[in-house]
């Protein structure tokens, strides 16, 4: 089953911890970044590079 990915600017479907899986421009994130979001908050850019990113729910 494919993992749900969320792009920078989209709203979090549920509260929880999320981590960067990859950058939108196909780059690799510089570090493992985990953030806490509340349901409805928007996903930010990758904090280390400020580039748009894909986020996944952290396990």
**How many Å apart are CA 7 and CA 29, to the nearest integer?**
14
Q: What integer pLDDT is reported at residue 3 of this predicted model?
A: 64
pLDDT tens digits for range 1-44: 346 999 999 999 999 999 999 999 977 777 778 999 999 999 99
Q: What integer pLDDT is reported at residue 30 of this predicted model?
A: 74
Q: Where are the domains of the chain?
A: 1-44
Query: What's this model's pTM, rounded to 2 decimal places?
Result: 0.85
Q: What integer pLDDT is reported at residue 13 of this predicted model?
A: 95
**How many Å apart are CA 31 and CA 39, to the nearest integer?**
24
Cβ atoms 3, 32 nearer than 8 A: no
Q: What integer pLDDT is reported at residue 56 of this predicted model?
A: 95
């Amino acid at each position: 089953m494919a993992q749900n990915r969320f792009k920078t600017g989209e709203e979090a479907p549920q509260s929880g911890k999320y981590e960067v899986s990859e950058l939108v421009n196909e780059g690799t994130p510089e570090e493992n970044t985990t953030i806490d979001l509340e349901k409805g908050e928007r996903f930010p850019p990758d904090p280390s590079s400020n580039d748009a990113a894909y986020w996944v729910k952290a396990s």
